[in-house]
């Protein structure tokens, strides 16, 4: 019923509809995700906190934006519930998100991405973009709080989907393991013991974090440089299109295609004589064709002037 | 033991017709037997040392067993791929090419039944050799109590000389089903000959389990080969299927998009660093094989889907071709 609204000939839409069917046919207890009615490239999701961690029992909502050329480009993820591991209302940096398109595989899907997201929760952020590192007790408090009410976000339709997903996950999720009163009295001593034992490991961890942070800084610099290069490329293309306003739309539409072609052409120069002569011949033919086109488009007077010269 | 006899009978039967490369099953078994004989007496005297030594490696066997098996596997796969390709080219040839082929190969039997029999023989050959290789490796692991056989198998798959990994096997199975169906369509005028003695494989079938296409082939030895025909990129039945050198099957359009190349250029122009979307092996696009027989089979089996998909993809290819030639014009004129 709803499927008939969308343009089914678009391969991205076909792929997304297939994934929706598969999600509904095989629902999971750990997560649920639904696309918006009005825009199938916008999804709402909720994941259950992984077991045996401080996130256990928590219900974390988020939003997924699929690109127009999905599944050949990765989606972007944004978490809406405070969780102590990822920032809210900010796109997060993961190997499955659009921060790293080189790591994305077309055979991955929203399902695999959500499974990976659940697996990423207990890991150390190591200074990645969109990540935070709260203490464990604070994370547990946030987990308990996340069950009570879903976050308020977006339009009423989106909020309805969020509430629906929250109810589903709430019916599936386990209860948060609450600390007993007896353990409360013993907690300070246990914490102190753990602290004394873990102290040397913390030193090692600090060293590791510093080295990894340095690596992340280098990686971030590379990403920034790549972005700058992309911007420069786009900027250089635009002036070339300016002399021909009629062709401008076509040029903009196929910018990415041009980049691909340009790279391939640059990487494979052909020095053969035959190819050179063939290219010259083709060039002449194309010039003749363009000249004819030019004469026709500019009318009789231009043709007359050309005949004079 | 009985498989060895069966295999030897099969190879004898085949060698009468033509000189086929095969796995030297008997020879390899002899090597293993010699190795076992050498190890048994020394086990009595030094149990711990021998156990320790045995679980690691056996230099005598590794020196002769694996290189020989590797060479034989290469011969088998090479021969199989070559002949499968020839047979399929003969069947898929049309018009002038068919006439040329007919002029060249006069002595070859080109009637329907001959093609069926030849395809069946090739599939038989592939499967029986695959089973032989599997059994000899299992025996090796059993004698040496090691994992060398499995490690060897994994390495062989990486080198792409595993015969079940060959895209031509998939093509032959589709070819077999195609010919059987066209035989039914043309009527049962041809009388079937007596069944061959070594009919190991009971037949191929294209099934749709819950909408998922599956090409399956079953041996009487309870070995089964299943090939999933769902493209893992568009999550639909493959259209215009193409098999990368790692053995995974995709739609042609999906493979071109995954490799970031234009349809006009084709997969041959893909970069060596482009990876397979499933196994992430690089350099798999250059040797990709078009599975035309499989395409014909799918066209016949699910016609409505195929027609709809054809229209969609034709429009898309046309658009890509337009973009390509526009780019070419602009690059030549320098605008």
Query: What does the pLDDT read at residue B39?
Result: 52
pLDDT higher at B131 or A116: A116
- Which range, of A34-38, A77-81, A288-292, B249-253, averages the lowest pLDDT? A34-38
With pLDDT > 70 as the criterion, what percentage of chain B qualifies? 62
* Shortest CA gap B332–chain A (Å): 6
Q: Residue B164 corresponds to which tokens in the numbers above?
A: 């079940």
Using a CB-CB cut-off of 8 Å, the residues of chain A touching B257 are 72, 106
Using a CB-CB cut-off of 8 Å, the residues of chain A touching B329 are 286, 290
Q: Which of these, A87, A80, A76, A79, lies nearest to A131 by C-alpha position?
A: A87
A281 pLDDT tier (thresholds 50, 70, 90)? very high
SS3 state of residue A59: strand
Give the pLDDT confidence of B250-292 residue by residue, as tens digits.
898 889 888 888 778 788 788 788 878 888 777 888 788 878 8
**Least CA distance to A19: which residue of chain B?**
B235
Is B170 in contact with B249 (CB distance < 8 Å)?
yes
Interface test with B, best of A112, A261, A278, A287 (most B CBs within 10 A): A261
pLDDT higher at A96 or B110: A96
Query: CB neighbours of A119 closer than 8 A, spacing ≥ 6?
Result: A50
Whole-angstrom distance, CA of residue A150 vs CA of residue A163: 7
Determine the length of chain B: 335
Q: Residue A17 corresponds to which tokens in the numbers above?
A: 């509809």
* Shortest CA gap A106–chain B (Å): 6
Whole-number average pLDDT of chain A: 67
pLDDT higher at A228 or B208: B208
Is A124 in contact with A131 (CB distance < 8 Å)?
no
**Domain residue ranges of chain B, discontinuous segments joined by +:** 1-33+56-186+193-200, 228-334
Whole-angstrom distance, CA of residue B304 vs CA of residue A157: 37
Name the residue facing B326 among A18, A250, A260 (closest C-beta): A250
Question: Is the per-residue pLDDT at A200 higher than 70?
Answer: no
Q: Supply the DSSP symbol for A177.
A: -
* Shortest CA gap A173–chain B (Å): 30
Question: Is the per-residue pLDDT at B57 higher than 60?
Answer: no
Query: What does the pLDDT read at residue A305?
Result: 52
Average pLDDT rounded to a whole number, residues B65-90: 78
User: What structural domains does chain A harbor?
Assistant: 11-172 (3.10.110.10)
* Shortest CA gap A24–chain B (Å): 15
Average pLDDT rounded to a whole number, residues B176-187: 68
Q: Does A277 touch chain B (CB under 8 A)?
A: no
Query: What does the pLDDT read at residue A285?
Result: 94
Query: What does the pLDDT read at residue A4?
Result: 47
Whole-angstrom distance, CA of residue B303 vs CA of residue B297: 10
A204 pLDDT tier (thresholds 50, 70, 90)? very low
Roughly what angle, to the nearest 10 degrees, separates helices B112-144 and B2-17?
A: 140
Residue keyed to tokens 């297939």:
A18
Interface test with B, best of A71, A241, A265, A292 (most B CBs within 10 A): A71
A8 pLDDT tier (thresholds 50, 70, 90)? low
Query: What does the pLDDT read at residue B36?
Result: 60
Other Cβ atoms within 10 Å of B176 Cβ, number: 22
Q: Please judge whether B236 and A264 are an interchain contact, meaning their C-beta atoms are less than 8 angstroms apart.
A: no
Query: What does the pLDDT read at residue A183?
Result: 34
Sheet hosting strand B289-290, strand order edge to edge: B249-251, B241-243, B289-290
Q: Does A244 touch chain B (CB under 8 A)?
A: yes
Query: What does the pLDDT read at residue A253?
Result: 38
Peptide bond into B53 cis (omega under 30): no
Q: CA separation (Å) from B5 to A285, B34, B135, B142?
A: 70, 20, 13, 20
Give the pLDDT confidence of B305-328 residue by residue, as tens digits.
888 788 888 787 788 898 887 888
Continuous segment of H or E residues that includes residue A9? none
Give the pLDDT confidence of B99-123 residue by residue, as tens digits.
666 565 654 445 556 777 777 777 7
Question: Is the per-residue pLDDT at B200 higher than 70?
Answer: no
Whole-number average pLDDT of chain B: 71
Q: Does A256 touch chain B (CB under 8 A)?
A: no
Average pLDDT rounded to a whole number, residues B3-25: 66
- Top mean pLDDT of A91-105, A255-269, B176-190 is at A91-105
- Cα dihedral sign, A104-A110-A112-A113: positive
Average pLDDT rounded to a whole number, residues B231-243: 85
Give the pLDDT confidence of A42-72 residue by residue, as tens digits.
888 998 788 888 888 888 889 888 898 787 8
pLDDT higher at B211 or A260: B211
With pLDDT > 70 as the criterion, what percentage of chain A qualifies? 61
pLDDT higher at A233 or B5: B5
Question: Is the per-residue pLDDT at B60 higher than 70?
Answer: no
Q: Does A279 touch chain B (CB under 8 A)?
A: yes
Q: Supply the DSSP symbol for B214.
A: E
Whole-angstrom distance, CA of residue A209 vs CA of residue A126: 6
Which positions of A are annotated as active-site residues?
93
Is B183 in contact with B197 (CB distance < 8 Å)?
no
Continuous segment of H or E residues that includes residue B23? none
Q: Does A278 touch chain B (CB under 8 A)?
A: no
Give the pLDDT confidence of B79-95 residue by residue, as tens digits.
888 778 777 777 776 66
Q: Which of these, A69, A74, A99, lies nearest to A86 by C-alpha position?
A: A99
Q: Please judge whether A286 and B335 are an interchain contact, meaning their C-beta atoms are less than 8 angstroms apart.
A: no
Using a CB-CB cut-off of 8 Å, the residues of chain B touching A11 are 234, 253, 316
Question: Is the per-residue pLDDT at A235 higher than 60?
Answer: no
Is A78 in contact with A151 (CB distance < 8 Å)?
no
**In this structure, CATH architecture of domain B228-334:** 2-Layer Sandwich (3.30)
> For residue A128, how many C-alpha atoms fall within 13 Å in the half-sphere facing its CB?
19
Question: Is the per-residue pLDDT at A239 higher than 50?
Answer: no
With pLDDT > 90 as the criterion, what percentage of chain B qualifies? 0
Q: Residue A260 corresponds to which tokens in the numbers above?
A: 């691909």
**Least CA distance to A281: which residue of chain B?**
B332
Is B137 in contact with B70 (CB distance < 8 Å)?
no
Question: Is the per-residue pLDDT at B193 higher than 60?
Answer: no
Q: CA separation (Å) from B316 to A17, A71, A154, B330?
A: 19, 17, 35, 21
Average pLDDT rounded to a whole number, residues A7-34: 81
SS3 state of residue A296: helix
Question: Is the per-residue pLDDT at A219 higher than 50?
Answer: no
Give the pLDDT confidence of B139-167 residue by residue, as tens digits.
777 777 676 676 877 777 666 666 776 78
């Amino acid at each position: 019923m709803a499927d008939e609204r969308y343009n089914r000939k678009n391969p991205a839409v076909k792929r997304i509809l297939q994934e929706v069917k598969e999600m509904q046919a095989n629902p999971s207890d750990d997560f649920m995700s639904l696309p918006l009615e009005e825009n199938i490239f916008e999804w709402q999701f909720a994941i259950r906190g992984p077991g045996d961690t401080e996130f256990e029992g928590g219900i974390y909502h988020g939003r997924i934006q699929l690109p127009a050329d999905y599944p050949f480009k990765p989606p972007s993820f944004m978490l809406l519930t405070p969780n102590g591991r990822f920032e809210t209302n900010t796109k997060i940096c993961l190997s499955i998100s659009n921060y790293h398109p080189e790591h994305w595989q077309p055979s991955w899907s929203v399902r695999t991405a959500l499974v990976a997201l659940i697996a990423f929760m207990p890991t150390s952020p190591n200074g990645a973009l969109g990540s935070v590192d709260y203490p464990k007790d604070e994370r547990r408090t946030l987990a308990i709080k996340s069950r009570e009410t879903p976050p308020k976000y977006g339009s009423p339709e989106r909020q309805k989907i969020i509430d629906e997903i929250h109810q589903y996950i709430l019916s599936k999720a386990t209860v948060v393991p609450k600390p007993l009163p007896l353990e409360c009295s013993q907690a300070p001593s246990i914490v102190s013991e753990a602290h004394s034992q873990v102290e040397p490991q913390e030193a090692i961890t600090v060293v590791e974090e510093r080295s990894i942070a340095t690596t992340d800084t280098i990686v971030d610099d590379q990403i920034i440089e790549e972005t700058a290069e992309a911007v420069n490329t786009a900027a250089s293309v635009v002036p070339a299109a300016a002399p021909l306003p009629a062709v401008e739309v076509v040029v903009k539409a196929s910018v990415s295609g041009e980049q691909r072609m340009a790279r391939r052409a640059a990487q494979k120069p052909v020095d053969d004589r035959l190819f050179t002569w063939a290219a010259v011949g083709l060039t002449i033919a194309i010039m003749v064709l363009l000249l004819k086109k030019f004469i026709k488009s500019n009318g009789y007077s231009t043709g007359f002037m050309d005949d004079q010269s | 033991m009985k498989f060895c006899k069966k295999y030897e009978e099969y190879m004898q039967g085949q060698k009468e017709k033509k000189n086929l490369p095969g796995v030297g099953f008997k020879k390899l078994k002899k090597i293993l037997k010699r190795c076992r004989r050498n190890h048994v007496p020394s086990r009595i005297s030094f149990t711990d040392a021998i156990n320790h030594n045995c679980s690691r490696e056996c230099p005598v066997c590794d020196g002769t067993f694996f290189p020989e098996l590797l060479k034989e596997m290469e011969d088998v796969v090479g021969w199989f791929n070559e002949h499968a390709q020839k047979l399929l080219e003969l069947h898929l040839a049309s018009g002038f090419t068919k006439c040329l082929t007919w002029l060249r190969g006069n002595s070859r039997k080109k009637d329907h039944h001959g093609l069926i029999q030849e395809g069946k023989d090739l599939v038989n050959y592939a499967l029986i050799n695959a089973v032989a290789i599997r059994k000899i490796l299992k025996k090796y692991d059993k004698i040496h109590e090691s994992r060398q056989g499995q490690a060897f198998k994994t390495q062989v798959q990486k080198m792409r000389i595993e015969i079940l990994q060959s895209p031509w096997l998939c093509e032959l199975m589709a070819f077999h089903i195609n010919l059987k169906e066209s035989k039914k369509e043309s009527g049962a005028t041809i009388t079937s000959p007596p069944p061959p003695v070594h009919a190991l494989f009971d037949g191929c079938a294209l099934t749709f389990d819950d909408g998922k296409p599956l090409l399956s082939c079953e041996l009487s030895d309870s070995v089964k080969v299943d090939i999933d025909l769902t493209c893992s990129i568009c999550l639909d039945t493959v259209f215009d299927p193409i098999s990368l050198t790692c053995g995974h099957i995709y739609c042609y359009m999906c493979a071109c998009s995954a490799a970031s190349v234009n349809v006009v250029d084709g997969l041959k122009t893909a970069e060596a660093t482009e990876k397979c979307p499933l196994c992430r092996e690089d350099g798999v696009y250059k040797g990709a094989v078009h599975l035309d027989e499989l395409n014909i089979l799918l066209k016949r089996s699910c016609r409505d889907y195929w027609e709809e998909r054809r229209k969609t993809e034709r429009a898309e290819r046309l658009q890509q071709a337009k973009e390509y030639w526009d780019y070419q014009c602009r690059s030549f004129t320098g605008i």
